[in-house]
Amino acid sequence: MDKLIVEGGHKLVGNICISGAKNACLPILAAALLTEEECVISNVPLLKDVSTMINILASLGRDVKKEGDKVIIARGRVTNVTASYEMVSTMRASVAVLGPLIGRYREAKVSFPGGCVIGPRPIDLHLKGLRALGVDIDIKEGYIIAKAKKLKGNRIYLGGHFGSSVLATDNTLMASVLAEGETIIEDAACEPEVTDLVEFLQSMGADISGKGTPTLRVRGVKKLKGAKHSVIPDRIETGTYMIGAVITGGKLFLEGTTVDHNLALMDKLHECGGEIKEHKSGIEISRKTNKIKATDVTTLTYPGFPTDLQAQMMSLVTIGDGISVITEKIYPERFIHISELNRMGANIILEGSTAIIKGVPSLSGAPVMASDLRASAALVLAGLVADGKTEIARVYHLDRGYERIEEKLTACGAKIYRVKE
Ligand code: EPZ
């Protein structure tokens, strides 16, 4: 397994080109199953998770190829409706093939996605949405066996204990676009990645209104056609590098992205001393204060502060001037990065799902372990400002969600390189 070596003390100064959004392109690739016509998805990032989704579509019998930043799903039908344990166990988002397979073929057999280090990751809301459309669901030998004689529109409330669910909204939506009659999804997720999926489905001929709101209204249509779609920029990659500029006291221009999807983060970075200028072609970000100011963050569903930037924000405030408080309302156990940051000299204590971070003057480089995609990014950010070298093991987590991260950071002055273990 590869590891990353990061040498601290170098400001990030320069330009970074933001890639397409991982969490938008995964359900959009799955949505191509709703038609037998060709679909061309562009601005697709070169990520492990994208290759996994391409392999799943191929395992279902579709002819899929990646050409540069484009993924072409050629004309054709699936030859089977089974997404295997081997595939689904490497990426939870594979569950997003459930909705389109049922929507188009009225049946699906998808391995039950497991939990991960950030929490149990249940799918009760996905199954609630599908059952409401008339789908019979069986769980056998670790597989979700779904069948529907007919799909009938319905009014569905999809809010759960932690609020709306991104992929449960996606699955229910994709199962409803070819159903008979009208479907209303209440407490639908409003994340930009869900809106991007809605726009792709609309370009295929789906009749959906209410995009970006908690109420999605779908009128079933007979057939969907092939379409071309360019994926939105990745707001979590954007946010990660915005934090990188502020934590190192550097200055970055992030190309091909917008603050529109990161208003909650922008608000917090202003509190911490960040200076953000919006341009047509991107975002300019630096820090105007010589010290990072403490702040308080609570993660919420969109447009609240995103849980996928919680770990990165924690790295920032470990060297903040004062006491910061971070509360995790989406995945209450998403704090595995605390122990690694404390190994680097941070002073963080956890009370339930609230972390109290007492700012320290500096961090010290140490061997640390990556555990999930976003915690890994948080360790890279901490390594950029720690004294000495930080060795981050198991960086395959990072490769799932950050395209060419060491290349993009090196181009901005970071001293970071990968070694094969
Ligand atoms: C998506 O996961 C993202 N993944 C996650 O990003 C992100 O953290 C999450 O949304 C929240 O924003 C993709 O889009 C591929 P949820 P998803 O259903 O849809 C609970 C990353 O780092 N819940 O919105 O699986 C769930 O346990 C990844 O890129 C239920 O209770 O998340 C959580 O507490 C990590 N029942 C909350 O809802 C369900 O049926 C939100 O989860 C489904 C979810």
Domain 2-19+233-420: give its CATH code.
3.65.10.10
Query: Residue 368 has which token pair?
Result: 């640390």
Atom of ligand 1 nearest to the CA of 332: 34
- The span from the CA of 242 to the CA of 281, in Å, is 15
Give the rounded percent of residues in the chain with a pLDDT score beyond 90.
93
31 vs 114, residue with greater confidence: 31
Q: How confident is the model at residue 5 (pLDDT cuts 50, 70, 90)?
A: very high
Residue 121 has pLDDT above 90, yes or no: no
CATH 3.65.10.10 domain residues, the chain: 2-19+233-420, 22-230
Residue 298 has pLDDT above 80, yes or no: yes
Please tell me the residue having the least CA distance from ligand 1 atom 27. 121
Residue 26 has pLDDT above 90, yes or no: yes
Who's near 399: CB < 8 A, 6+ residues apart?
Answer: 47, 48
> Any idea which residue has 């930080």 for tokens?
390
Please tell me the residue having the least CA distance from ligand 1 atom 8. 308
- Tell which one of 48, 112, 167 to mutate to probe ligand 1, the residue whose CB is within 8 A of the most ligand atoms: 167
User: What pLDDT is stored for residue 349 in this prediction?
Assistant: 98
- Tell which one of 144, 161, 166, 238 to mutate to probe ligand 1, the residue whose CB is within 8 A of the most ligand atoms: 166
User: What pLDDT is stored for residue 1 in this prediction?
Assistant: 80
CB of residue 194 inside a 6 A radius of ligand 1: no
Q: Which of 26-35, 78-87, 113-122 has the lowest mean pLDDT?
A: 113-122
- 17 annotated active-site: no
Distances (CA, A) of 67 to 71, 89, 157: 6, 26, 40
Query: Residue 201 has which token pair?
Result: 């489905």
Residue 130 has pLDDT above 90, yes or no: yes
Q: How confident is the model at residue 159 (pLDDT cuts 50, 70, 90)?
A: very high
What confidence tens digit (pLDDT) does each residue in 199-208 have?
999 999 999 9
* b (16+ CB within 10 A) / e for 87-102: bbeebbbbbbbbbbbb
Q: How confident is the model at residue 51 (pLDDT cuts 50, 70, 90)?
A: very high
Residue 138 and residue 112 in contact, taking contact as beta carbons nearer than 8 Å: no
Atom of ligand 1 nearest to the CA of 160: 31
79, with CB counted inside 10 A (0-12, 13-18, 19+), is exposed
User: What pLDDT is stored for residue 140 in this prediction?
Assistant: 95
Q: How many CB atoms are located within 10 Å of the residue 263 CB?
A: 13
Please tell me the residue having the least CA distance from ligand 1 atom 10. 166
Mean pLDDT over 14-40 rounds to 98
> Any idea which residue has 């404390």 for tokens?
342
Q: How confident is the model at residue 53 (pLDDT cuts 50, 70, 90)?
A: very high
Name the nearest CA neighbour of 401 among 111, 47, 39, 1: 47
CB of residue 400 inside a 6 A radius of ligand 1: no
Mean pLDDT over 187-208 rounds to 98
Please tell me the residue having the least CA distance from ligand 1 atom 43. 123
- Tell which one of 121, 173, 371, 402 to mutate to probe ligand 1, the residue whose CB is within 8 A of the most ligand atoms: 121
- The span from the CA of 12 to the CA of 364, in Å, is 18
Query: Residue 283 has which token pair?
Result: 């975002």
Centre of ligand 1 to C-alpha 333, Å, is 13
Centre of ligand 1 to C-alpha 127, Å, is 14
CB of residue 179 inside a 6 A radius of ligand 1: no
Centre of ligand 1 to C-alpha 92, Å, is 10
Centre of ligand 1 to C-alpha 117, Å, is 13
Q: How confident is the model at residue 119 (pLDDT cuts 50, 70, 90)?
A: confident
CB of residue 30 inside a 6 A radius of ligand 1: no
Amino acid making up residue 319: I
Catalytic residue among 116, 190, 272, 412: 116
CATH topology for the 22-230 domain:
UDP-n-acetylglucosamine1-carboxyvinyl-transferase; Chain (3.65.10)
What confidence tens digit (pLDDT) does each residue in 303-312 have?
999 999 999 9
Mean pLDDT over 71-99 rounds to 95
* b (16+ CB within 10 A) / e for 14-46: bebebbbbbbbbbbbbbbbbbbbbbbbbbbbbe
Centre of ligand 1 to C-alpha 31, Å, is 18
DSSP helix/strand/coil, 227: coil
Centre of ligand 1 to C-alpha 126, Å, is 11
Mean of per-residue pLDDT scores for the chain: 96
Q: Chain-centre distance of CA 386, in angstroms?
A: 27
Centre of ligand 1 to C-alpha 167, Å, is 7
Who's near 193: CB < 8 A, 6+ residues apart?
Answer: 21, 23, 24, 27, 166, 232
